[in-house]
Amino acid sequence: RDENEGKTMVKMRGFLLGLGGGAVGAALVVLVLVLVFNFGETKETVVQTPSQLPAAYAPGSQGLTPEQLYKTMSPGVVMIQSDFANTGTNLFGQPQSGQAIGTGFVVSKDGYILTNAHVVQDQGQKATSIAVVFNKGGSKTQQVKGQIMGVDTTSDVAVIKVDPSGVTLQPLALGDSSKVQVGENVVAIGNPLNY
């Protein structure tokens, strides 16, 4: 029992560190996306830059209220549930499995989703299955299978992909950290527990 509690605490600590690391890792997102989208492919991927964003998102603008941001952005935010096999053995020597729950957001209409590396990889072991849960309003959800496309544990960033057919994808625009000014308002949004 103590070993299970220890693993739970380690995962909880990883979850909390990941929330903070996710914000820091956003600056590396563009690099990760370029590597994922262009590795061995000639397909062109377009990511919105701040100059393409609506005026409400422009640096120095009054922007949207938190309520407006939630209504606008929440369809692009997802919950991610990862299952791990063989996470160790119990007191009787039987193999154990584990689970991680986190949040992510859609970054392209092609089905690419950005999340934290610790949500899909634990101590070097990648998840054996990933479920991505989209909130459809109220208590309605849609769950689809996800696939790991790339993991960077140094920046705690991972990219997963879902099949874009059969699910409505609303990509969230990526900002430019070089245009952020000290003192600007920031709003964090996530869905780690399907709330």
pLDDT, tens digit, 9 for 90 and up, residues 3-29: 655 555 555 555 545 544 454 444 344
- Determine the Cα–Cα distance for residues 59 and 43; give it in Å rounded to an integer: 31
C-alpha triplet 133, 127, 173: angle, nearest 5°: 45
Question: What pLDDT, on the 0 to 100 scale, is given for residue 134?
Answer: 93
Of the segments 32-41, 156-165, 173-182, which one has the largest average pLDDT value?
156-165
Residue 136 pLDDT greater than 60, yes or no = yes
Q: 8 is written with which tokens?
A: 């739970």
What percent of the chain stands above pLDDT 70?
A: 67
Question: What pLDDT, on the 0 to 100 scale, is given for residue 89?
Answer: 72
Pick 184 or 9 by higher pLDDT. 184
Nearest 5°: phi and psi at 174?
-90, 140
Our measurement of the distance from residue 173's CA atom to the centroid of its chain's CA atoms, rounded to an integer in Å, reads 14
Q: Quick count: other Cβ atoms within 10 Å of Cβ 174?
A: 18
What percent of the chain stands above pLDDT 90?
A: 35
Question: What pLDDT, on the 0 to 100 scale, is given for residue 10?
Answer: 55
Residues β-bridged to residue 146: 130, 162
**SS3 call for 70:** helix
pLDDT, tens digit, 9 for 90 and up, residues 93-127: 777 778 889 999 999 999 999 999 999 998 888 99
Its pTM stands at 0.65
Mean pLDDT over each residue of the chain, to the nearest integer = 76
Residue 81 pLDDT greater than 60, yes or no = yes
Pick 53 or 31 by higher pLDDT. 53
Residue 165: pLDDT band with limits 50, 70, 90: very high
